[in-house]
Amino acid sequence: MAAITVAAKGAGMTLAAASGGGDTVAATGMSAGGWQVTGTPVLVVAIGATPTTVTIDGTAQAAVTSKTVVYPLNPGVYSRSIAVTYDQVTSVTVGAQVL
């Protein structure tokens, strides 16, 4: 698994090719009692013409084709590394940025 670099708030984000074995992203924000603290990253996935299912932290998302999708990451109370996998990686790029 490759680590996705999380861009700082307001900085430019660079998308990289998705790894066949999946990726990880550091979720450094905090969420407790339903309140989201600023500084939590989002995962950005650009998907080509092949339908792709992204699984984040064990939860499969709806399959997407030819779109760029933004997924908020919920680290829970403590910062942690979240696993991201894909059912295929052809024309799939990923990045992350702090909101």
Instruction: Concatenate the DSSP letters of all residues of 6-40 into one string.
Output: EEPTTS----EEPPTT-EEEEE---EETTEEPTT-
What local confidence, expressed as pLDDT, does residue 19 receive? 96
Angle at 95 between CA 93 and CA 98, to 5 degrees: 160
Q: Is 81 helix (H, G, I), strand (E, B) or coil?
A: strand
Query: pTM for the full model?
Result: 0.86
What local confidence, expressed as pLDDT, does residue 33 receive? 61
**pLDDT tens string for the chain (99 positions)?**
799 988 988 888 999 999 999 999 988 766 556 665 666 688 999 999 999 999 999 999 999 999 999 998 877 767 788 999 999 999 999 999 987
Angle at 82 between CA 48 and CA 1, to 5 degrees: 65
